[in-house]
Amino acid sequence: MNWKIEYKNLLLILAGFLACYFLPIGIPRFDNAILEAFHLVKWYAEEHVLLCLIPAFFIAGAIGVFISQAAILKYLGPQANRVLAYGVASVSGTILAVCSCTILPLFAGIYRMGAGLGPAAAFLYAGPAINVLAIILTARILGPEMGIARAVGAVFFSVIIGLLMAFFFRNEEKTEAAAQMVMPEGEAPRPLWQTSVYFAAMIGILVFANWGKPAESTGLWAAVFQAKWWITSGFALAFGVMLVAWFGLRFWQVTVTAVAVAGLALAFPDNPLIPFTAGFIGLSLFTSTDQGEAGAWFASSWTFAKQILPLLLFGVLVAGLLLGRVGHEGIIPSEWVAWAVGGNSLAANFFASFAGAFMYFATLTEVPILQGLIDNGMGKGPALALLLAGPALSLPSMLVINSVIGLKKTAVFVVLVVVMATCSGVLYGMLFG
């Protein structure tokens, strides 16, 4: 009996047994929380996966494949214009950081071989914060003001953080670049305007398919809501034309899909989800079998789906268990949430920001957790503070950053993030709370 190896198995069995033995089933709060977890998952599956996540995966996949990364990296290199470098660093997270683990090597590279500490710090903060999928889901679930505030806050404050980092450490010896930066290949097979229109069409489909019902029944918002599926179809039609004309997809495949979608729309006028889903099934079929760029686009989108859906599912279950839904509590009583992060006090914003900086959020899980917190009484200001500090940092990531830039710079960076997030939260809470 080899105890040195077997002790781990024993501990696991023991932990499992104790968890089952002391399972609080039968206590109403716990039973309720379990049901809440499943209610929340069902709601997400019904409301958000088909209309919002699937188009978002295709958009994220397209960003990874169709936008030239070499062109962006040029602005972050050692010879780059410093002013431009900050601007590019703060928004390029959307384009360069499509794989979340690419952020740290890029940060290290920009710091040591590229434009320096300032733009590198801006990129480090903005990269995870400006994640395309996260912004889309935030806008969808927590409301467009929160989504926009998150994106704007991330970009704006990343520049400030970068500038402050560069200022605080301006007298540091710049270590000589060990090697020349290697650029990825950057042939752009189509002109920029075509790529832009293509993205605009996809974003149009996403935005209008998800256009929410406004409170008033008159006015511009309501008019758009009435017409939303016509507008979405218009974008979809334009999109289909682009796919054949510019991306070389086969005419008959796109047309069959278009006809199927139109047919289903006529057959099921009250259930737009059916033709919408059929459209995406068709898109998946003819892109996944393509041998060229469209195939790479599908593969990239599929990688996102594989990576994110299980994590999101888990995050939603945990959020439902701990926090419940609107009007239904989970395990955590809402008074605790309201006490800790309710209202818009400096303390509440700081607490949210600080907790967010150290807690680890798997991609996108911050959204259901935040939704639960807000429903339980978290103020809007602290919610934004958590969104700005949470995804950008976590204890594990701080350790890695420390290995690249050292303890002093890491500490300053973390303090700057927490302070910026707190201030943004207070401001946002004052304006929109």
- List contacts with another protein (CB under 8 A): 69, 73, 96, 99-102, 104-106, 108-110, 112-114, 178-184, 303, 307, 400, 403-404
Beta carbon nearer to another protein, 184 or 327: 184
**In the Cβ-directed half-sphere of 413, how many Cα atoms lie within 13 Å?**
31
Beta carbon nearer to another protein, 85 or 383: 85
CA distance 294 to 11: 49
Beta carbon nearer to another protein, 111 or 280: 111
CB of 113 to another protein, least distance (A): 6
CB of 269 to another protein, least distance (A): 42
**In the Cβ-directed half-sphere of 29, how many Cα atoms lie within 13 Å?**
9
How far is CA 265 from each of CA 52, 211, 228, 229, rounded to the nearest angstrom? 19, 18, 14, 10
CB of 301 to another protein, least distance (A): 14
32 backbone dihedrals φ, ψ, rounded to 5°: -60, -45
Beta carbon nearer to another protein, 149 or 312: 312
CB of 305 to another protein, least distance (A): 13
| Neighbouring-strand partners of residue 328 | 325
Beta carbon nearer to another protein, 296 or 359: 296
CB of 88 to another protein, least distance (A): 14
CB of 108 to another protein, least distance (A): 5
Beta carbon nearer to another protein, 104 or 222: 104
DSSP letters, 348-390, are: HHHHHHHHHHHS---TTTHHHHHHHHHHTT--HHHHHHHHHHT
Beta carbon nearer to another protein, 319 or 393: 393
**Closest CA relative to residue 82, chosen from 166, 20, 3, 144:** 166
**Closest CA relative to residue 397, chosen from 422, 361, 432:** 361
**Within a 10 A sphere around the Cβ of 396, how many other Cβ atoms?**
10
CB 104 within 8 A of CB 401: yes
**Within a 10 A sphere around the Cβ of 72, how many other Cβ atoms?**
18
Beta carbon nearer to another protein, 39 or 74: 74
27 backbone dihedrals φ, ψ, rounded to 5°: -80, 120
State the Cα angle at 93 between 87 and 95, rounded to 5°.
105
Beta carbon nearer to another protein, 5 or 101: 101
CB of 360 to another protein, least distance (A): 16
CB of 302 to another protein, least distance (A): 12
Give residues with Cβ within 8 angstroms of 19, minimum separation 6: none
Give residues with Cβ within 8 angstroms of 338, minimum separation 6: 376, 377, 378
**Closest CA relative to residue 287, chosen from 273, 304, 300:** 300
Beta carbon nearer to another protein, 63 or 73: 73
**Within a 10 A sphere around the Cβ of 86, how many other Cβ atoms?**
24
Beta carbon nearer to another protein, 41 or 103: 103
CB of 36 to another protein, least distance (A): 32
Collapsed DSSP state (helix, strand, coil) of residue 343: coil
Q: What is the 3-state secondary structure (H, E, C) of 403-432?
A: HHHHHHHHHHHHHHHHHHHHHHHHHHHHHH
DSSP 8-state symbol, 46: I
CB of 181 to another protein, least distance (A): 6
CB of 65 to another protein, least distance (A): 9
